[in-house]
Structure 1
């Protein structure tokens, strides 16, 4: 049984703890702060501006943190989605609604974003849902090993699985060999993880990996690109 419970982190936002994997969904030094740095600042906001649209593949929908932060920053400048976003998230172990209701994320958002956070979680699985004009969510209930997308249709990957020591099947060479053709040239993969074998696997698949400072005191995180 994957028992999940809520814990507070040092920035005042909650994370989730999984008994199945004996691991947390976010950094204990700051759940929202980590996601903001790794996936938004170092990923979403650093993506090449040459792309006409943003096509995101996320590993692990989890608490919905990365999805709502992506929406928040996409809306920040004008209050509406300027560049269309398709957000696909693959989740093998969806978090129960009664657990999601315990999270304090909505306290840190505007009323509009708080309502959108609920919309993200209430969206049905395995189909496209337009959360707001220009932002399409597709939550896939399944495993990454079974996920397929057409070649060159993804330009940003949030690789946010449990640690390699906790869920090693997510970090195998086969996963990155399959993901690489799905990505557009100059597409980016970002992850909190800086495990050496992970980076070697990315390079073997064809990615160009560059060092990047980690979040909240971590020495390093990973950013990788598909060469043009």
Structure 2
């Protein structure tokens, strides 16, 4: 996969990226910011925390650092709630500065604008080593594929890879199993994808699978809980 990407504006005014080589966007056309908040913050992190508010640090694993939006929203959450988070993300094709420096996520919600400087810092942080980003947010970004990644125990998984029809190798039962086997008991696995085969595979791997309302423009999404 090449590095050519084009910045587009989605329906909620926030940016996403279009990758011509895959004919795929990094987020929903119906709103990149809203999608991340709905799928990964509301039904991912906050849902897990509502059941485990006494367990920390929260260990999060993300497949697809991409634009850095999920990481930045999580940092903001950690600072607001004063809950320590250890965030591990993988990305085989990191964005160039000329791209990420133009993204407008920090301008979407004025109530958290004072966290804006962290967005650039997340992208500028060194790859393949742990970095203290803020008082409550530590991060490790690995520039590698899921197949090559060394995974750590996780409480919350953000599975934000490109769609199964675009990158099927990331959605095989084997790759899903690599992620689920390192999830802690009670951990959650959240993805925008609602494909039946993905849900069946997650169930076969031992997760209790739920079909949930999707973000704007998408009927359904998926979450699984490690038993």
TM-score range, shorter chain: over 0.9
Q: Structure 2 unaligned runs (5+)? A: none
Which moves more between the two structures, 31-40 or 97-106?
97-106
TM-score (norm 2): 0.93
Q: Measure, in 2, the Cα distance between the counterparts of 1:168 and 1:180.
A: 17
Q: Per-residue CA shift, 1:31-64, capped at 9, x if unaligned? A: 0001000000001111132422210000110110
3-state secondary structure, aligned to 1:142 = coil
Alignment of 1:164 onto 2:168: no
**Displacement of 1:214:** 0.7
Query: How far, CA to CA, are the matches of 1:191 and 1:68 in structure 2?
Result: 18
Report matched runs for 1:9-20 at 5 Å: 9-20=10-21
CA distance in 2, matches of 1:146, 1:44: 25
Q: Which structure 2 residues correspond to residues 15-54 of structure 1 after superposition, within 5 A?
A: 15-47=16-48, 48-49=51-52, 50-54=54-58
1:60 to 43, 64, 81: 64
SS of equivalent residue, structure 2 residue 33? helix
Q: 1:111 offset after TM fit, Å?
A: 4.5
Deviation per CA, 1:136-186: give whole Å up to 9, x if none. Answer: 110000000111224xx2010000000000010010010122122211000
Contact 1:59 1:161 in 2 (8 A): yes
Instruction: Establish whether residue 154 from structure 1 lines up as the match of residue 158 from structure 2.
Output: no
Aligned to 2:137: 135
What is the rounded CA distance, in whole Å, between the counterparts of 2:74 and 2:56 in structure 1?
17
Normalized against structure 1, the TM-score is what? Answer: 0.93
RMSD: 1.3
- 1:95-129 superposed Cα distances (whole Å, 9 cap, x missing partner): 11101112112223545311111110110000000
C-alpha contact (below 8 Å) 1:125/1:139 kept by paired residues: yes
67-76 or 136-145, which deviates more: 67-76
Q: Which moved more, 1:212-221 or 1:7-16?
A: 212-221
- Measured in 2, the distance between the counterparts of 1:31 and 1:46 equals 20
Q: Which residue of 2 aligns with 1:184?
A: 184
Separation (CA, whole Å) in 2 of partners of 1:14 and 1:52: 32
Distance in 2 between residues matched to 1:30 and 1:173, nearest whole Å = 29
CA shift for structure 1 position 22: 1.4
CA contact (8 A) 2:56 2:85 kept: no
Count of paired positions = 221
Gaps of 5+ in 1: none
